[in-house]
């Protein structure tokens, strides 16, 4: 199979799946089966492309040329392939989980849910394989629109209000900040192509580059850097499988992925190293990391705590890029994968707890680990990976970020990363500890009778992703080797 055909199938398969889901609406088992099979096929397609592509001469698929010299084009590169592998791997796992969750909670409009989910994955594939900023921007906007019905799934006034915040902030930042930055870049350079080393020449002044970098980073609202983060906790009104999509599979990962793409291929690491605005954005990322962690510590609602945890963890990636060192970029890029696996595990567990025990507040979950041991063990594994303890995947991305901060001689950022990890311990470990070691009161025990693990289709996926957190530790060298070309370094770990 030729590379351009693989690219076309990677883009079209999720969209065709959405049509299949709608067609199979009267038969729920077939409807979900279509999504699971499509997800497996998509992962195999992406894996096949990753194993066969030559980074020196990657395949190119031109979709359209709306303006002369400016195309909608797909061209794979290492970072995009990593993002596509993550999203395609987690799609069928999340679909299986969603079957148990949606049916267990008797959710309505399940056909619309699975169809919108498939379109969202298709958008993520377009973002991952985009060959220039215009293509990425188009699929970035499609992803915002495709996930809106997922956020407002329940149809309640609260969900609709959350949906307005969600779509309003994401569209306002992308159209109001990122799009002008793209137009300015085009006017200065005549290109929006992703180019190794960046597209700006010496004739572009450092002041202009600083303004452009700020516009790009703040305009990528899906990266949820403060103060453009409110959409993410607002979206927690959605069903838990949607939260998993938002936090691990597509939306926020599309945000930080775009930050890395812009940093590496529009500006270039060497250029960012001499831009004054990079230091200010680094400080803003550090503030977001610590402030969101403190807010997470104060939240009793489990999904709200995980949402602010995600806001904090996303800024690890932004910080890695603003360090403008090879190890910082590699650490930030690896964190996209490590955080995806750990955070989807935590959200799966939160949904399983709600499905089995109908509990949403951490203070109500004392002793649940004794009747839901698989769920709580998986939660602990996911939490420890987010914290960055070996032998779990998150330890590697944090290690490279620390090395990158040391290379940049940013002692303050090393302190931020270490303090953040301690805060991770403070707001994640107690959830598992309360579940396993705290006793329930007599009144709570009355409602505790009969509680057991969530349906198997919920428990199996969270066990798989928890196992993935472990596997990422032992196979991190494969991720490192994949990402090494984007950092333009010959350094070895």
Q: Is residue 197 part of a domain?
A: no
Is the pLDDT confidence value at 446 over 70? no
Identify whether 391 is preceded by a cis peptide bond (ω within 30 of 0). Answer: yes
Whether residue 96 contacts residue 114, with contact meaning beta carbons closer than 8 Å, is answered with no
Res. 441 pLDDT band, cuts 50 70 90: low
Average pLDDT score over the chain: 90
Mean pLDDT of the region 302-324: 94
Number of domains observed in the structure of the chain: 1
> What span, in angstroms and rounded, lies between the C-alpha atoms of 342 and 338?
6
30 vs 43: CA distance, rounded Å: 20
| Separation of alpha carbons 179 and 140, rounded Å | 11
pTM score over 0.85: yes
275 class by beta-carbon count within 10 Å (0-12 exposed, 13-18 middle, 19+ buried): buried
Share of residues in the chain with pLDDT > 90 (%):
69
User: Residues 95-110: what's their mean pLDDT?
Assistant: 79
Task: Say if residue 443's pLDDT is above 50.
Answer: no
Please check the confidence at residue 167 and state whether its pLDDT lies above 70: yes
Structural domain boundaries enclosing 392: 275-493
Residue 244, pLDDT above cutoff 90:
no
- Read off the tokens for 21: 């889901």
Residue 449: per-residue pLDDT: 55
- pLDDT at residue 452, rounded to an integer: 84
Whether 166 has a pLDDT exceeding 60, the answer reads: yes
Q: How many CB atoms lie within 10 A of CB 429?
A: 15
What is the Cα–Cα distance from 156 to 278, expressed in whole angstroms?
41
40: part of which helix (H) or strand (E)? helix 28-52
User: Mapping DSSP to helix (H, G, I), strand (E, B) and coil, where does residue 159 land?
Assistant: helix
For residues 262 and 362, is the Cβ–Cβ distance under 8 A? Answer: no
73-96 average pLDDT score: 93
Answer yes or no: is pLDDT of 70 > 50.
yes
Q: Which of 376, 373, 393, 396 is nearest to 385 (CA)?
A: 393
Element (H, E) at 61: strand 61-67
Residue 324 has pLDDT above 50, yes or no: yes
pLDDT at 493: 38
Please check whether residue 117 lies inside any domain of the structure.
no
Give domain status of residue 418, yes or no. Answer: yes
Residue 70 counted as domain residue: no
Residue 94 lies in a domain: no
Distances (CA, A) of 32 to 93, 281, 400: 12, 43, 39
* 483 occurs within a structural domain: yes
Task: Report the alpha-carbon distance of residue 366 to residue 439 in Å, rounded.
Answer: 6
Is the residue at 64 inside a domain? no
**Residue 450: pLDDT band by 50, 70, 90 thresholds?**
low
Chain CA centroid to CA 298, Å: 23
Residue 144's pLDDT is what?
A: 92
In this structure, of 147-156, 161-170, 180-189, 234-243, the range with the lowest mean pLDDT score is 234-243
Q: Pick from 326, 301, 331, 300: which is nearest to 315 by CA?
A: 331
Residue for token digits 């080797």? Answer: 481
CB under 8 Å to 37, separation ≥6 — which residues? 92
Task: Look at phi and psi of residue 357 and say left if phi exceeds 0, alpha if psi is from -120 to 50, else beta.
Answer: alpha
Host H or E run for residue 87: helix 78-104
- Whether 390 is covered by a domain: the verdict is yes
What is residue 247's predicted lDDT score, i.e. its pLDDT?
A: 64
pLDDT at 110: 80
């Amino acid at each position: 199979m030729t590379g351009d055909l693989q690219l076309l199938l990677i883009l079209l398969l999720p969209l065709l799946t959405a049509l299949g889901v709608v067609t199979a609406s009267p038969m729920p088992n077939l409807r979900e089966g279509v999504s699971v099979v499509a997800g497996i096929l998509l992962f195999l397609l992406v894996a096949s492309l990753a194993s066969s592509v030559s980074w020196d001469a990657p395949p190119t698929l031109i979709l359209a040329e709306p303006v002369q010299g400016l195309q909608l084009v797909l061209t794979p590169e290492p970072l995009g392939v990593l993002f596509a592998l993550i999203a395609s791997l987690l799609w069928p796992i999340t679909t299986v989980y969603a079957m148990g969750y949606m049916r267990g909670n008797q959710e309505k409009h399940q056909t619309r849910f699975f169809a919108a989910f498939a379109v969202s994955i298709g958008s993520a594939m377009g973002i991952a394989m985009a060959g220039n900023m215009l293509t990425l921007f188009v699929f970035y906007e499609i992803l915002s629109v495709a996930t809106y019905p997922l956020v407002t799934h329940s149809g309640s006034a609260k969900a609709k209000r959350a949906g307005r915040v969600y779509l309003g902030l994401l569209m306002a930042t992308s159209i109001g900040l990122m799009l002008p930055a793209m137009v300015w870049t085009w006017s200065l350079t005549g290109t929006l192509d992703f180019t190794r080393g960046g597209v700006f020449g010496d004739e572009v002044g450092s002041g202009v580059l600083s303004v452009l970098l700020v516009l790009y980073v703040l305009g990528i609202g899906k990266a949820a850097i403060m103060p453009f983060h409110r959409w993410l906790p607002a979206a927690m009104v959605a069903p838990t499988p949607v939260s998993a999509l938002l936090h691990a599979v597509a939306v926020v990962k599309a945000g930080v992925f775009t930050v890395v793409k812009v940093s590496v291929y529009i500006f270039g690491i060497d250029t960012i190293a001499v831009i004054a605005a990079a230091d200010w954005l680094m400080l803003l990322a550090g503030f977001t990391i610590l402030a969101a962690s403190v807010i997470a510590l104060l939240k009793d609602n489990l999904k709200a705590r995980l949402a602010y945890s995600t806001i904090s963890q996303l800024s690890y990636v932004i910080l890695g890029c603003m360090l403008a060192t090879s190890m910082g970029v590699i650490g930030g890029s690896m964190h996209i994968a490590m955080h995806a696996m750990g955070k989807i595990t935590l959200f799966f567990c939160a949904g399983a707890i709600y499905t089995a025990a109908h509990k949403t507040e951490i203070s109500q979950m004392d002793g649940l680990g004794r009747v839901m041991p698989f769920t709580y063990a998986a939660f602990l594994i996911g939490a420890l990976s987010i914290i960055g303890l070996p032998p779990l995947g998150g330890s590697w991305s944090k290690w490279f970020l620390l090395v990158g901060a040391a290379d940049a001689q940013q002692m303050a950022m090393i302190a931020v990363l270490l303090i953040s990890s301690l805060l991770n311990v403070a707001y994640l470990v107690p959830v598992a500890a309360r579940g396993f070691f705290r006793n329930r009161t007599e009144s709570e025990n009355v409602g505790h009778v009969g509680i057991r693990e969530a349906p198997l289709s919920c428990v199996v996926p969270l066990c798989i992703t928890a196992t993935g957190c472990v596997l990422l530790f032992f196979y991190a060298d494969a991720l490192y080797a994949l990402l090494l070309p984007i950092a333009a370094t010959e350094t070895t770990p």
